[in-house]
Amino acid sequence: MNEQGVSAIVRKLSAFVVLTQEEQSVVDGLCRHPRLIRAGHDLVVQGQTRHSAYILQSGWACSYKLQEDGSRQIIDFQVPGDFLGLRSVLLRTSDHSFESVTDIQVSEVQTADLIAAFECAPRLSAAIFWAVSRDEAMVVEHLVGVGRRGADSRVAHFLLELETRLALIGLSNRRCFRCPLTQYHLADALGLSAVHVNRVLRHLREAGLVTFRHGFVSIHDPIALADIAGFDATYLDQAEPLLR
């Protein structure tokens, strides 16, 4: 919960539809059985055939895909309010894995629970479809970043996206946010080596744009950083809710 007592998942879905108290209660019902998962554990494993979706209530996770040589490509990072494995619930076999980056608290959601929630509160299906579509839009941006952006632009874009996502759920003040990711996490997500990530972060810091140190990101010049990144937050779709 944030300082207003509103869960991250409610805050996130409310970016698309203004939830009534009854609808918020249905969402809260999906989170009624929290589980604590220690850092470094997989919730869903690539190739798994029977699994559930999860709602991330606290902590950070990542989705990734393993290659035959044992290397991994991180697809995205999940923050509170995000679903883990929602798409793969509808597939017979999960095509990627989810791992806890920090200790996390999640709520397991069975397919039957989702169907029941949609029956009780039909507008939730639209809000959750929006959340899934937004996740897909982020993956598209990440693909463009890895394929077409230079290293400085890639790192800057990633940090600005994180800040925008965290601001939505009340975990950023638009200039500073906690970030438990290591340079190795960033390397696996951005298609760079850890040494290259370190070099880029030092360059951005020395330019007075952003500092990433001791688990905190501080954005000193958001306009200049966005200019380097070519960052346009439209794809994150965090304007006024479409449904009221």
Would you state the structure tokens that stand for residue 100, as one six-digit string?
């806890």
Query: Based on the domain organization, do 114 and 162 belong to the same domain?
Result: no
**Which pLDDT tens digit goes with each residue over 186-237?**
999 999 999 999 999 999 999 999 999 999 999 999 999 999 999 999 999 8
User: Within a domain: residue 197?
Assistant: yes
- Clarify whether residues 146 and 232 are in a common domain: yes
Q: What is the pLDDT of residues 89-144, one digit of tens each?
A: 666 667 788 999 999 999 998 888 888 999 989 999 899 989 989 999 999 999 99
pLDDT in tens, 10-52: 999 998 888 999 999 999 999 888 899 999 999 888 777 766 7
Q: Which pLDDT belongs to residue 155?
A: 97
Do 95 and 158 belong to one domain? no
Select from 53, 87, 122 the last residue of a domain. Answer: 122
- With tokens 């999640």, the residue in question is 106
Q: Residue 61: which H helix or E strand, with range?
A: strand 61-66
107 and 164 share one domain: no
Domain count, the chain: 2
Are residues 150 and 65 part of one domain?
no
CATH number of the domain that 16 lies in?
2.60.120.10
Kindly state whether residue 133 falls inside one of the protein's structural domains: no
Q: For residues 92 and 47, state if they share a domain.
A: yes
The pTM (predicted TM-score) of the whole model is: 0.91
56 three-state secondary structure: strand
pLDDT of residue 46: 78
CA–CA dist 65, 159 (Å, integer)? 22
Give the residue from 65, 110, 98, 104 showing the smallest Cα distance to 81.
104
pLDDT, tens only, 51-103 = 678 999 999 999 999 888 878 899 999 999 999 888 766 666 677 889 999 99
SS3 assignment, position 41: coil
167 and 195 inside one domain: yes
> Residue 3's pLDDT is what?
41
CA–CA distance, 15 with 8 (Å, rounded to integer)? 11
Range of the structural domain that residue 91 is part of: 8-122
Domain shared by 21 and 88, yes or no: yes
Q: Do 39 and 114 share a domain, yes or no?
A: yes
Q: Do 152 and 81 lie in a common domain?
A: no
Alpha helices for 2-122 (secondary structure H): 8-13, 21-30, 86-89, 111-120
Note whether 118 and 224 are same-domain residues.
no
203 and 111 in a common domain: no
Question: What's the CATH code of the domain at 162?
Answer: 1.10.10.10
